[in-house]
Copies of this chain bind each other. A is one copy, B any other.
Amino acid sequence: MTLGPLEEELAKARAAYRNRGRWGEADVLGTLNFIDDAIRAHAAGLVRRGRSFSLAQGFDGLGDRTSTRWDGLGRGHDNKYAWHGGSRAVTDGDSVTGIEHLRDAFTGRGVLLDVGRAVGDARGELPDGYPISEEHLRDAVEAQGATSSVRRGDIVLVRTGQLGRVRRLGAWEGYASGDAPGLSFATLGWLHRTEIAAVATDTWGLEVRPSGFAEPAAEPLHRIAVPHLGLPLGELWDLEALAEDCAADGVYEFLLVAAPLPGTGAVGTPVNPIAVK
């Protein structure tokens, strides 16, 4: 998987993976439009044992830069592009596509793709800087079996194992600001084609760092995924206990309710996601 020059790849991706306009000019839901009542009813039917998993890391409120979160459709800019038109500053809030519009939207079928276990080391961990490719995602689906087939409207959880390693070693330096395994820019085609509703992971930035481009590139996957695909991105989720349970019972699908705090105009928000199996 080789990436060409940054601006060239961005231009190709903008053209190829564009959902803007797909649901009308005034749309505020993006790919969450793929979830409907039938999908939610089906997802509730996946609950068998009644076990509830919180996928949130601890919050210390004012404490640090980060928390388990959703990035909404105002987070991830591409120069003059944003999901709902107009460029705006990270720190300005989002008066059009603020996270409050998504308050009831993140209820559906969750699927865990444990890439760390499928292609990582014996502990199920990927090293920092490891780029997850489309093939790796398919490898995980295949290794995990039928319950992890990815369908339209799914909320896909990609486990890299970084959080597990950091916790095991107590090596928190850089966990919220440094290099990390994550989705390669080259997975944008898969993210677009599968028509998933959202994707989340256990690292601070979701995409691989460094980015794999020869040039400095600030969050290139965000730049396409959010303003052009309209795909909400979840970060800093704690998938460790859920992944262990899925490995034990071989079931990688579940009801997921990941309701964001509806901060008016917020471009992202803390969340305590709940998976029920």
Question: Which chain B residues border A193 with CB–CB below 8 Å?
Answer: none
Q: Is the CB of B37 within 8 A of A50?
A: yes
Q: Is the CB of A44 within 8 A of B50?
A: yes
**A94 to B63 Cα, complex, angstroms:** 9
Q: Is the CB of A265 within 8 A of B60?
A: yes
Q: Considering the complex, give the chain B residue whose CB is closest to the CB of A89.
A: B172
Given contacts A41-B48, A79-B171, contact A91 B64 (CB under 8 A): yes
Q: Is the CB of B65 within 8 A of A262?
A: no
**A78 to B276 Cα, complex, angstroms:** 36
Question: At the interface, yes or no: A25 with Cβ under 8 Å from chain B?
Answer: no
Given contacts A79-B171, A263-B62, contact A274 B107 (CB under 8 A): yes
**A103 to B275 Cα, complex, angstroms:** 12
Copy total for this chain: 4
Q: Considering the complex, give the chain B residue whose CB is closest to the CB of A263.
A: B62
16 inter-chain pairs at a CB distance below 8 angstroms, sorted by A residue, are A37-B49, A41-B49, A59-B91, A59-B263, A60-B92, A61-B61, A61-B63, A61-B266, A63-B267, A64-B268, A65-B65, A67-B91, A93-B264, A103-B272, A257-B274, A261-B270
Contact stretch, chosen from A15-23, A114-122, A130-138, A216-224: A216-224
Question: Which chain B residues border A139 with CB–CB below 8 Å?
Answer: none
**A54 to B204 Cα, complex, angstroms:** 27
Interface residue ranges, A against B (CB under 8 Å) = 36-45, 47-54, 56-67, 69, 75-80, 87-94, 99-100, 103-105, 107, 128-129, 167, 170-179, 205, 216, 218-219, 222-223, 255, 257, 259-274, 276
Question: Which chain B residues border A269 with CB–CB below 8 Å?
Answer: 62-63
Q: Considering the complex, give the chain B residue whose CB is closest to the CB of A275.
A: B104
Question: Which chain B residues border A175 with CB–CB below 8 Å?
Answer: 90, 218
**Min CB distance, A188 to chain B, in Å?**
16
**Min CB distance, A248 to chain B, in Å?**
15
Given contacts A104-B274, A107-B276, A222-B173, contact A216 B50 (CB under 8 A): no
Question: Which chain B residues border A218 with CB–CB below 8 Å?
Answer: 173-175, 177-179
Given contacts A259-B54, A274-B104, contact A93 B222 (CB under 8 A): no
Given contacts A60-B61, A78-B173, A172-B89, contact A54 B205 (CB under 8 A): no
